[in-house]
Structure formats: C-alpha cells, structure tokens
Amino acid sequence: MQADTVPLIMGILILVSSLISLRLGLSVAIIEILLGACAGNLGLIKTEEWMIYLANFGGIILTFLAGAEIDTKLIKRKLKESLLIGLFSFLIPFLAVFGFSYLAAGWKLQASLIAGVALSTTSLAVVYSVLVETGLTKTEIGKLLMASTFVTDMSTALALSVLFSKPTLYTLVFILASIAIIALAKNFSHLVFDNPLLKDKVIEPELKYIFLLLLAFVYFAKLGDGHAVLPAFLLGMYMARYFKDRSETKMVKNRLRVVSYAFITPVFFILGGLRVSFPLIWSAIGIFLILFALKIAAKFVGVYFLARKYIPDGSMYLTLLMSTGLTFGTIAAVFGLSAGYLDQAQYSVLIGVVIASAVIPTLIAQKWFLPVDDEDLLEFNGGGEGD
C-alpha cells in the first residue's frame, strides 16, 4: 500500500466513526477504537510514525482538557472521596491481576507485575471524552469522576516507575522542566489570555501557546524516558482558572476542543484499536476472558461500594467508567514488550483486554446507566457548588 493512502483511510475512518456515533448515540471514542481494530486486522491500514506521535499528542491534549474541567474547590471539599475511590480503583485490580498472572497463569514475576499495572488503570482520555459528549463535565459527579480517575492513573504511573524505572539525570531534567513550564505558565499566561492584541484573531495565538506548552512537555518527557500525561493534567488544572469564569477564554477552550476532536484525538483512539491482534488474542482466549472478567470484577469491588456511599445516584455509572482503560494500560504493555518482560502473545492479550475495557464498560454505562435526571446530575451527597 502506498504510504500516502494511509492519511486518506484515516480520514475516512474518522468521518465514518462520527456518523456511526451520531446514528447509534454512542461515544465516538468507542466507535473509533472498534473501527481501528477492524481496519488493522483486515490489513487496510498499518501504523506509521506520524500516527504514533500524533496519537500520543492527542492523548496529552485530552488529558490537558480533562484537567481544565477539574473544579479545585470540589477536590478540596471531596478530597477523601477522590483519594479513596481512586486508590482502591488502582489497588484491588493490581493485586487481583498480579496474583492471577503469577500464581495461576504461570507468567514470570516481571510480566505479572506489568499485567497488574496495565489492567489497574482507568482511561482519563475515555472518561473525559464520554463526559464531554454526555454533557456531564460540568456536574459534580463528572468532576469527581475525573478527579478519582486522575488519582488512579497517578497511582499507576508511580507503580510503574517504582517497580521498573531506572532514574537517570534526564529523569530529573524532565521533572524540573515540567515544574518550570507550569511555573512559567502560572506567571506569564495572563500576557497571552488577557492581551487585547491577541484576542479573537484568526491565527489563534492562544491555541498555539497551549500547543507549545504541551509540546515542551512531550520533548522533555521523551528526553527523560517519561510520559507527559501527568504534567499536562496538572497544567490543565491550573489553566482552569482562565477558562472557568470568562466567556472569551471559555471560547479558547472550546476552540481547542474543536480542533483536537476534528482529527488529533481520533488518531489516538484509532491507533489504540490498530494495536489489537485478533489472531493472537484468539490463541489465548481463555486467559483473555479471565483477565478481562478479573479486571471488571476487581474494579467493581474497589469502586462500587465507595461510589454507592458517596454518589448513590450515579454509583454504577461511575464504577463502569472507572473500569475503562487505554492510555496508561497501553503505555505499561508497550513498556513490558520493549523491555523484554512480555512476549508478543502476552502483549496482545493485555492490549486486547485494555481495549475491551475501554469499549464494553463504556457501552454498558451509556446504554443503561447514564444519569438522566437533572437533580441526580447536580446533586452530590446532598448538593454542592456547581459551576
């Protein structure tokens, strides 16, 4: 296949995904993942370097936008709830999957640890995309869900770092550079967002400023063998102060969302689907089904009872979305394969479970457990401060 046909096929997949999403009323992220998996296994499209970079950047943009939706006042008021739900969402699946892989499936210690990390994640990108499409980002349920997801993903990133990473001088450079970028944004962003010479310009200097900050994270993360997701989320949380109360800066966030959702973030989800190998999953279908069931069951145990205590009207919806996985699960599996801890079959099984967990719980949540009562959406444990 000629290389220049790949962008054309990607464009077709992106448009068709949107049309199917509108027709079925499902999250477009789910459709993009499924079409990506089908296209990859049918040999219609192969992964190229530009797709990998654009997909990674799309995941970072989604994470930034998710951080920009976080209500820091809500986090302070509901710190205990966010920490408990997020930590148990990570810990119970990690222990369950690691125990099964090591003791029952006979995987080596390192492979079992990778499996535990990969399947303990919650996809902030999927959660944010679904909340945007369902209009729940402005509700306290949606904000707490994103905050808890962030705690889970931070726990996953820390676990992967503690268990496997070998810090170098460049790791320190990445950490210090991330802190410096956020500090610079804190002190100088007003020169961009409050500058009358830059507002409402067709060249979109505000968007280019945000892209530059995120690209700087990507550069230093690559240099330090890390990932830019966590600093991007923290930057988004800080930028929320610019986007929350002023209509002109809200428009900047909306334009960023439009630009990203038009092409960049669809590449992220389609590429996730392309990584699934149906033949390799079928060759280990028993392990695949057990690991998928174990992840969902462990997430239910870790999340549902706490969610029922704190969010009685949306407990099942929150539990199902906390069961999704994609970004960090894929990162962990790719790391395991690259480092030689996983063989190709183990990698495909883990990637398959990660992708299935991004699709199936989301589909069930949207179809049967989507909160529809306005009172349910705005109330959280007796009500609170909404936007």
State which of 158-167, 188-197, 243-252, 319-328 shows the largest mean pLDDT.
319-328
Burial profile 169-179: b = 16 or more Cβ within 10 angstroms, e = fewer: eebeebeebbe
Q: Identify the pLDDT of residue 176.
A: 94
**How many domains, the chain?**
1
Provide mean pLDDT across the span 92-98: 96
Task: Give Cβ neighbours of residue 98 (< 8 Å, ≥ 6 apart).
Answer: 112, 113, 115, 116
**Structure tokens belonging to residue 270:** 């389609």
pLDDT at position 385: 37
In terms of residue numbers, what domain contains 246? 5-378
Residue pLDDT, tens place only, 184-232: 998 888 888 877 777 777 778 889 999 999 999 999 988 887 778 788 8
Residue 200 located in a structural domain: yes
- Sequence-separated (6 or more) residues with CB below 8 Å from residue 386: 138, 139, 140, 378
Q: Has residue 50 been placed in a domain?
A: yes
User: The pTM is what?
Assistant: 0.77
Each residue's pLDDT tens digit, 321-370: 999 988 778 878 877 887 789 988 898 899 999 989 988 998 898 888 88
Identify whether 324 is part of a domain: yes
First vs last C-alpha separation in the chain: 50
Tokens of 314: 């949306």
328: CB partners within 8 A, 6+ apart: 117, 118, 121, 123, 153, 156, 157, 160, 229
Domain annotation covers residue 383: no
| Rounded Cα distance, 204 and 256, in Å | 10
What CATH number does the domain containing 268 carry?
Answer: 1.20.1530.20
pLDDT in tens, 80-90: 898 999 999 99
Give a yes or no: residue 387 inside a domain. Answer: no
Nearest to 299 by CA among 326, 329, 319, 327: 319
Put residue 178 in one of left, alpha, beta given phi > 0 → left and psi -120 to 50 → alpha. alpha
Give the separation between CA 343 and CA 106, rounded to whole angstroms: 13
Residue 385 inside a domain? The answer is: no
